[in-house]
Structures are given as C-alpha cells and as structure tokens.
Amino acid sequence: MTGAPTDSTDLTPASLRLDAAGRHAARAMDAMDPMALMRERFLVPAGPDGHPTAYFTGNSLGLQPRRVRQLVDEELDDWARHGVEGHFRGRRPWYTYHEQVRDPLARLVGAGPHEVVAMNSLTVNLHLMMVSFFRPEGRRRKILMEHPAFPSDTYAIKTHLVTRGLDPAEDLIVVGPREGEEGPRDADIVDAIREAGDELAMVLLGGVNFFTGQVLDMPGITEAAHRAGAICGWDLAHGAGNIPLQLHDWDADFACWCSYKYLNGGPGAVSAAFIHERHARNSELPRYAGWWGNDPDKRFLMHLQPEFHARADADGWQLSNPPILGLTPLIASLELFDEVGMDHLRERSLQLTPYLRSLLETSAAASGRDWFEIITPSDPERHGCQLSILLKDRPKERFAALERAGVVVDFREPNVIRAAPAPLYNGFEDCWRLAAALASLD
C-alpha cells in the first residue's frame, strides 16, 4: 500500500477559492497525500494544450494502467511462442487464466472466491442470472426495478419477461422518485416490496445509480426482498471499485458488474458475476450451459460426454473459455486495488468528492447566482465518488468550457454533467480545475 490519505480536507476559505490561491491550496493538499502518487501508475490523456487532462469519467471508462501494455505484450509473445500450447504453458497459462482475477474480485465485492466469476459482458450476465433466478410461478411472477435505471437493465428485464410469456405492463414494478426528487428513496423501495408481497419473484436494482450517483441501502433492501419471499440481485456497474461492498454478508442472491468503469479494465472489458454460495454450490439450479461451466474433469471428453455437469461454484455459469486479451488489462488494474485496499480508496473518495461539492457551492454562494443543483445525495452513506451536477444555466456552454480547459466529464441530456473523482488517479487540483472551468462563465 502506498500509504493512507492524510487528513488533507480540513478546508480553509482560501482552499475553496477558484483563484490562484485556491489552486495553490489544492496542489498543497495533493502534495501531502501519499496516495496521490498512484496517478503516476496510469496513462492520462492530454488536453487541448498538450498537458494532462483532469479526467473525471472513470464512471464511464477508467484510465489505462501503465502495466497493461507489458502484460498484453507478454500474452502476444506467449501466443507467438507456444500457439495452442499456451493454454498450459507460458507465464500465465490460458486454461486457468480467469482464475487470476477471482481472488481480487472477491475481495473487492466482499465475497468468497468460489462465489465470483469473470465472464461475458454485464447485460449478458444479467440475462444469465435471470435464467437461473427468475422462476415465475403462480401469483409470484413480478420483477421490481428502479427509475431511473440504466437503459440496458430496462431492456434486459422487459425482454426477459416477454420471453417468459409475461407482460411488462403487468409484471414489472418500477419504483421512481417522488415529485421534485431525482432518485427513489430506500423506504419507498422497501414499501413497494412489502406491497407486492407474494406476487414478487425478483428484485433487480442498480446498487449505485448511473445518473445520480445515489447509493441504495443494499443490505436493507435485500433483507426486505427475502422477507417477501423474493430473490434479490444487483447491477453493480457503478458500485464495483467505487464503494466497499459485502455481498456475501448482505445475503445478496446474485450481482453483476462490468470492469471497464472504476475497475479500469479497458473498453468492453470482461464483466463479472457474484452468486451467493447457497446457490453457487447448487449444481441443479437451472441455467444456460456452455462447455466452460462444465465439470473440468469432463470438459475435454467432448462428444464422449454429452451431458452437462455444472461446476459447483460460480464458474458453473460460464459459457465459453475466457477472452485472454480482454482479461489482461484487468489483471494490471486489480493489482493496484490490492496494493491500496478498498477501505483506503473509500477514505480518499470521501475527501475528494465533498471537496468538489464544496468548491462549487462556495463559488455559487460568492457569485449570488443559482446556476446549478447537485442531484447526488450529500450523505456519505448515500454516494460514491460520482457527483451529478444539474446545470440550470447554459449547460452546453459550460460543458464546452470544461472541454476547452482540458477537463473530461460526460454530459447527459438535457443538462446534467456527471463527474467522478476516482481516488486511484484523481486529485484535489483536478477538482479545482473542474470547478473553476464550470464557474468561469459567471
């Protein structure tokens, strides 16, 4: 570990100014923080002026760890040297390649290694989990989800209902925000679960909302679902690598996440899934089968063994052998997560994101202009590192000002900017640059 963050956010009025003195204070806080050195382990894109950007889109695509190129080159070299024998020879034999990420992924999400598998992409894994865990029978046939949800989740759930002969208009319960709010309240989700009662078969929610950055009460909602007799699963695309998770202890039935966001696995990187051990060890659980989920002792009997014998762990949900070059960058990134530790990353995240919020709020108060609203909850228990900023004044112009200043965020129509100070590579000066550019039109 490179060292825990210092108590570098005892903010003074000077540290919240968007002038040269404020920037100097931000640089000083970075200089006092030993974890700021982790930034050097990543490749940061250059901005319009040729200098490194302030990169805040780890909630969409994380930065490339410097070690990725070396590891990819090694796999290409082993392929050239060994051909098909690379499955059992070389530095990291391909036959068991996915097992290299099993332990670090399990540590990140609070699971046992036998409960986690790296495979496929996120939406494919959500469909596979619904094949096994959505078992409509009699009155119990409804799925509960949230609004706003990431579109792919909505498409997956609705089409899955249709393929089971059900009607999303009747069999999908959507819990949305109250009037004037941006995300659903935990209590409203729990109430909807209780009200659905024995009609509810599954709860499937985004643990951290893609749009607002809101963190749901995952243990409480899971418990409520189980009290109602329903399965509870989680989409953790915006949770894994962002907030501490304890999926096994929270008793989640399953969860899926991608690895190209906070986990820095590269564009289209291999996803992963968690299946609680009470299910993972049940080889009789219905599923779609493929040869890589088969018992390894029977895997290469091929046509001599036509029956599927599921592995009695999360690996039993694999369909195909893993894409080696798609997994390699994730190995490099997970090494950094293990080096630092999720608790220390969370500690730093709870310094950076409130600092960015304070910069914006202080600048708005000083100007006397109400030009934005932060729609991410301020309670540390209810947010990760993402800050979603609703721009009330000239949203496209402010986004363009960020681009000119070399600040990389993303824009969600019609007027929301999402910025994620990822603690592995963002710093206080990055936050200052974002706030200064946004406020520059005032």
Please state the domain extents for the chain. Answer: 13-62+341-439, 72-338
pLDDT at 5: 43
Q: Token digits for 408? A: 């990389």
Mean pLDDT computed over 241-257: 98
Mean pLDDT computed over 318-344: 96
pLDDT at 303: 83
Mean pLDDT computed over 76-93: 96
Mean pLDDT computed over 35-51: 95
Per-residue pLDDT at 6 exceeds 70: no
Confidence of residue 301 (pLDDT cuts 50, 70, 90): confident
Q: How far apart are CA 426 and CA 411, in angstroms?
A: 19
pLDDT at 3: 44
Residues linked to residue 240 through DSSP beta bridges, in sequence order: none
Mean pLDDT computed over 261-277: 97
Mean pLDDT computed over 370-380: 95
pLDDT at 14: 65
Q: How far apart are CA 165 and CA 174, in angstroms?
A: 19
Confidence of residue 353 (pLDDT cuts 50, 70, 90): very high
Per-residue pLDDT tens for 118-137?
A: 999 999 999 999 999 999 99
DSSP state of 19: S
pLDDT at 305: 82
Q: Token digits for 243? A: 């907030």
Per-residue pLDDT at 442 exceeds 80: no
Q: What is the mean pLDDT of the chain?
A: 94
Confidence of residue 9 (pLDDT cuts 50, 70, 90): low
Output the CATH code of domain 72-338: 3.40.640.10
Q: Token digits for 154? A: 């909505």
pLDDT higher at 4 or 151: 151
Per-residue pLDDT at 292 exceeds 50: yes
Mean pLDDT computed over 428-442: 92
Per-residue pLDDT tens for 205-216?
A: 999 999 999 999
pLDDT at 58: 98
Element (H, E) at 380: none
Q: How far apart are CA 419 and CA 17, in angstroms?
A: 20
Identify the CATH assignment for 13-62+341-439 out of 3.40.50.970, 2.60.120.10, 3.90.1570.10, 3.90.1150.10: 3.90.1150.10
Per-residue pLDDT at 393 exceeds 80: yes
**How much of the chain exceeds pLDDT 70, in percent?**
97
Mean pLDDT computed over 408-421: 97
Residues linked to residue 142 through DSSP beta bridges, in sequence order: 200
Q: How far apart are CA 367 and CA 372, in angstroms?
A: 12
Report residue 298: phi and psi, to 5°: -110, -5
pLDDT at 399: 95
- E strand map for 181-300: 200-206, 231-235, 254-257, 272-275
- Report the 10 Å Cβ neighbour count for 174: 16
Per-residue pLDDT at 8 exceeds 50: no
pLDDT higher at 427 or 2: 427
Mean pLDDT computed over 60-66: 98
